[in-house]
Chains A and B, each alone.
Chain A
């Protein structure tokens, strides 16, 4: 394994495309992360809080897991496991078979890579489509993801263009927006016809049984809304005790992962579609994946379970930057992979990864979960040395080194003996340029200083201590004081607008009297004559829909036919897919991220904010809260419990999966208008 790793590393270093792509990733991701954290009032405090929550969760993993399972079941979600990799994949395949699934759409899930789910489903005769743009690209190429957040990190746009031309039969174009449009078109049909949707899970909320999924492209929403069956795969450690805790982790996960204050979409899934609801999966399954996690929980590598899978450690790692994700030979590359792979898949096979690090600590510095990578990597090395044969020079050299250093006399004799011999090696300016193995690795690219003929300990007696000892020790390591979180200052509407516009949303502030005309004018400007709209809502909302009907705009109330009637189902969906815009209200706005919160239920279809290219939302100014946490405490908790699927929407659908170039409207709307009324 180690030899293959070094071979792949050698190839990666010689691959200029990969090197360019990795450099871009490292530089842009780090600056994005720093910027995003700077928008928090007190980043250090939030990070400490997040790390504390993760620690508390992992310390009490079994009890939170039991709580979560119970509440999810009470909500009507069918829970399976915790299961091994093999059993988890089998369980998913069984569910799909029961529903005679032919087409499965998937949003990004690293745990599905870990259990090699696609291979198993395909072997059972099903077609599996990865719908995250990056995953879609690597799937077309028959590759594994190169990064846990940015699967196509290793490719430049020319590579993607070639793949699209050969696999999708489209004209060659290196324009990222055009390629994204192609992907949207190709996958839209799959979303509308899929029998089963599979997702990962970012967080399972123990106290409510809520399944939280974050995506940017809206593919996660498609996959959990349209197909009649939804299967969620979740590593058993991805828990969070409470909704308030979730609010904290949602502040750090997107910032660490992609440098966003919040991802475009956060889905809070509570239960399957109920009787009168407009859409959503009719059956929801949750497959809990153990696959070594519970054993790791009992081991000295427990802290690796703190991970949020944000990928910040990959972006910060100078070794990852040189060799890329594929070199690691595991679903989980980079520093976190070097802990998780040996911990879950075997120390013998993957322990060598812990040595592919200089212990520089860049990963620890950026980790929002508080993992001490250096400590964990060193523990892994300790285990690895005991479990797998080491190179001969280390096996012999380490005891020899210890034996020598255990006695000052021996150390001195060996030192002077070696110094004598090194004098005969060729040198340039006094430094050696060719050393024998195993040190030859050093002198391939560096000169090495010869050992001193007269080491320091032999010189010391000549040195005279002239100090008088006139100073006093008065310093101990200073404690860093954490400041209390101050309440958000300033006008909430102003902040909301600022944040919304930062994420490419469009803000309109008007009176409720002007509102119907503003909406109508906008729809006229995009020549929309058919839109999706929610059913009867508030007085303001109804005055808009009435006005729009008067101007000749047809408003369709989206509702997905039940799975019993497959044919009308697809036709209905295709019909709804023609609408130019979707019009909804929302429960609340969040000033710190420019987010609107949409419920779902009777007359409130998810599709309205999902299928059309433009989404118009009506927000009452008084419903703007400073943060998600404020909203949860002011009634959001009840709203989450009563909505089968609640969505936080922050700007339009977006991707940066190709060369990190931002493109809007991947699967969801490319424009988001928030009409804010007083």
Chain B
């Protein structure tokens, strides 16, 4: 099977190593990877900020690029996957032709862990981790896509890892919210960081780099030695830490 990889602008520009790990994971799972090189951003930042006309521009671009082939689209991010799978439909609700195209794309779009477990039934990557991993169920992945057991399933197959799930409370990221409501965002983050520190975790794993960036940014500021990893990094045994 061939898949199209939508890497997300955050991984592309901030965490390219995660992109490499994702590539490795998909290769290990036996799929052929196509990376449309003109992809940029799905438009979520503008959409969430209320700038729908701008979001439509980027959404149309994304649809066009990913419609060149009918291969499944795999995205290593819960929130970008929600954007493409659900929010594009809302964005084009008064534009039936585009909504139809969005619908077609949505029907073959998957978040990475969901794709590995539900589509490929591939959970064994011969990875090992010596220590405790706290899994952060990110909001868009959990409540937006209903994906919870899949990433845990993948982590539980990592040899030597003791896996616990953190509470499903939001980490406080929320995109622009983290900047224009920074005090509230920080307080929400502090609860999450307290929970992580008291869990005795050696690393925090998740499937959304935006949340992990918030969490690791906070942990680093606190002087904590705990680091975050995208699930793909754990499965490919990369040193904990987003970069």
Report A's interface with B, CB cutoff 8 A: 6, 9-10, 13, 318-319, 322-323, 354-362, 364-365, 374-375, 378, 381-385, 391, 394, 398-399, 401-402, 405-408, 411, 415, 419, 428-431, 433, 438-439, 441-442, 444-449, 451-452, 454-460, 463-476
Contacts and interface: CB of A to CB of B under 8 A. Distances in A.
Given A319-B188, A459-B16, 20 more contacts: A6-B183, A318-B191, A322-B187, A355-B176, A358-B173, A359-B140, A361-B143, A383-B50, A394-B49, A394-B176, A405-B61, A415-B12, A442-B179, A445-B218, A446-B221, A447-B217, A465-B32, A465-B34, A467-B33, A470-B1
A90 B168 CA distance: 47
Interface of B: 1-2, 7, 9, 11-16, 19-20, 23-24, 26-27, 29-35, 37-41, 43, 45-52, 54, 57-58, 61, 72, 87, 90, 107, 118-120, 122, 139-140, 143-144, 168-170, 172-191, 213-214, 216-218, 220-221, 242-243
A361 B137 CA distance: 13
A436 B46 CA distance: 21
A406 B58 contact: yes
B119 A474 contact: yes
Given A466-B27, A467-B27, A359 B48 contact: yes
Given A405-B41, A451-B13, A467-B32, A360 B186 contact: no
A445 B119 contact: no
A355 B218 contact: no
B20 A459 contact: yes
Contact of A457 (B12, B168, B220): B12
B92 to A, nearest CB: 13
Given A401-B45, A402-B54, A405-B40, A451 B243 contact: no
Contact of A382 (B9, B52, B183, B213): B52
Nearest to B178: A442
Contacts of A402: 43, 46, 51, 54, 57-58
Interface of B is mostly: helix
Contacts of B20: 456, 459, 463
A24 B146 CA distance: 28
Nearest to A9: B184
A408 B37 contact: yes
B119 A475 contact: yes
Contacts, number: 236
A169 B33 CA distance: 77
B14 to A, nearest CB: 5
B180 A391 contact: yes
A362 B50 CA distance: 20
Nearest to A318: B170
13 contacts: A13-B183, A355-B50, A355-B176, A357-B177, A358-B172, A358-B175, A358-B185, A394-B176, A408-B37, A408-B38, A430-B243, A446-B186, A448-B217
Contact of A455 (B13, B169, B218): B13
Contacts of A470: 1, 30
A307 to B, nearest CB: 19
Nearest to A473: B119
Given A6-B181, A446-B214, A452 B50 contact: no
Nearest to A419: B13
Contact of B1 (A356, A464, A471, A475): A471
B37 A358 contact: no
B122 to A, nearest CB: 7
A445 B189 contact: yes
A293 B186 CA distance: 36
Nearest to A351: B50
B179 A439 contact: yes
Contact of B122 (A322, A454, A468, A471): A471
Contact of A13 (B12, B26, B187): B187
Given A358-B170, A358-B172, A402-B58, A446 B16 contact: no
A468 B58 contact: no
B182 A445 contact: yes
Given A408-B37, A446-B218, A455 B49 contact: no
B23 A463 contact: yes
A413 B139 CA distance: 32
